Every structure is written in structure tokens, then in C-alpha cells.
A and B are shown apart, each in its own frame.
Chain A
Amino acid sequence: DTEVTQTPKHLVMGMTNKKSLKCEQHMGHRAMYWYKQKAKKPPELMFVYSYEKLSINESVPSRFSPECPNSSLLNLHLHALQPEDSALYLCASSPNTQEYFYNEQFFGPGTRLTVL
């Protein structure tokens, strides 16, 4: 199994809703990532988990809350989002060692989020 899966594929939510995005990989990778991508732009890193611990938070607003319940799963909890948060949210994983991060990242298909 060499893929990263993400659910749901599409999500429409209101500004008062609470929703979660899910990402799963079964490649034994120990680093997992959340990216946000706006149209016609490159992906922007949001969070990095290494060995189930949050290692990087790129100053993301607290209305985005990541969670890594185990080495295969990564969630992104959403609450009180703004319309400008509408974007493609991509999850990735990588077989990094704990000290060095230099392997390629494998991306999931993304969740297209629309905030009304």
C-alpha cells in the first residue's frame, strides 16, 4: 500500500460549524504533514508531526487544530473558519528519521474545503 488517503474529498461548512479532515497512510512513515493550497499557488505548510508529536506549527490560527492519534492517522479539526480558509487541504507523509528530514513526501488527493 503506497498511498495516502484523505476524507472527505469535498466539504462545505458554515462559519459556525465544527468539522474534521482525516488522513491515513499505511506505509510505516513516521512524519506526516498538513498543507493548505489556494488556487494557482503552491502548497503552504501548516503542521508537521514526527513520531506522533507536533514538531512544526507554521503559526497557523487556532481555529485549525491538528491531531495525530497514531502513526497512521492524522486529523485536522476545524472550528469557526472564515471564508478565506476555503482551499485544498493536502496531507502528506514521509519516511523520515527522527533527526533528519530529507525524504520525499507522498501526498494524498486532498480535501476541497468551502467555507460559506
Chain B
Amino acid sequence: AQKVTQAQTEISVVEKEDVTLDCVYETRDTTYYLFWYKQPPSGELVFLIRRNSFDEQNEISGRYSWNFQKSTSSFNFTITASQVVDSAVYFCALSEIGYNQGGKLIFGQGTELSVKP
């Protein structure tokens, strides 16, 4: 069965600290996509990154970086020098490729990050 686990329900840090959000997934398929979304208090889910199962290169975008390790089925997200504006719920999601899968995203339970000044 496909499943995404975000074991950290809530994380609280002080501004400028680095923080890593963990994501572990399960899938029977060899071809799949992983995503991270940010949901600030306003409610809109903001797309952050997509990674396919064949690309294990880590990615850095400004203060954000992602570590994809197929061997451990993990796709962790690190925020460097966190800021108050990073406070949000972060969702990791899995999508399988296939005809008529409908782009079904399987979400983790989310990690609520609170960055205090």
C-alpha cells in the first residue's frame, strides 16, 4: 500500500535555527513522484518541489534543501536559518504514475512548524 509518514507532528524552533522535516514513504511502484507543499495559516497549499524516483540528486533552493534517499525511502526537507515566515504546516506527498491514476496525491499527516522570533 502507498503511504507517507511524517512522524513529526509539531516542531518549534527559534528564528535562524536550521530545521529538518522528515518524510518516509512506502510504495510498490518503481516509478513515482514525491512532493513537498507548504500550507500557511491562510490555507492555500503552496507547491515547493517535485522529485521523480529516478532522480536522487539533492536539491537546494535558497534556504530550502531536499535530501532524497531511495535506499531509506526518505525525502527530507531542511530549512536553513529559519524565519518567522516559514511558520506553516508542511506536507510531503507521493504520486504514482499510471494511466488514470488521476494524479492522486497521497499526503502525509503534515508537520506544523512554528518559528519564534
Contacts and interface: CB of A to CB of B under 8 A. Distances in A.
Judge: A and B partners, yes or no: yes
Interface of A: 31, 33, 40-43, 45, 48, 50, 55-56, 88, 90, 92, 94, 96, 99-110, 112
A50 B102 contact: yes
A54 B91 CA distance: 26
Interface string B90-102: 0100010111111
Contacts, number: 73
Contacts of A43: 45, 91, 105, 107
Given A42-B91, A99-B99, A100-B97, A56 B44 contact: no
A102 to B, nearest CB: 5
Q: Classify chain B's interface size.
A: 20 to 34
Contacts of A42: 91, 107-110
A101 B97 contact: yes
27 contacts: A33-B103, A41-B110, A43-B91, A43-B107, A48-B102, A50-B100, A56-B104, A92-B45, A100-B97, A101-B95, A101-B97, A101-B100, A101-B103, A101-B104, A102-B33, A102-B103, A103-B50, A105-B105, A106-B47, A107-B44, A107-B45, A108-B44, A109-B42, A109-B43, A110-B43, A110-B44, A112-B43
Interface in B39-58: 42-47, 50, 52
Contacts of B95: 101-102
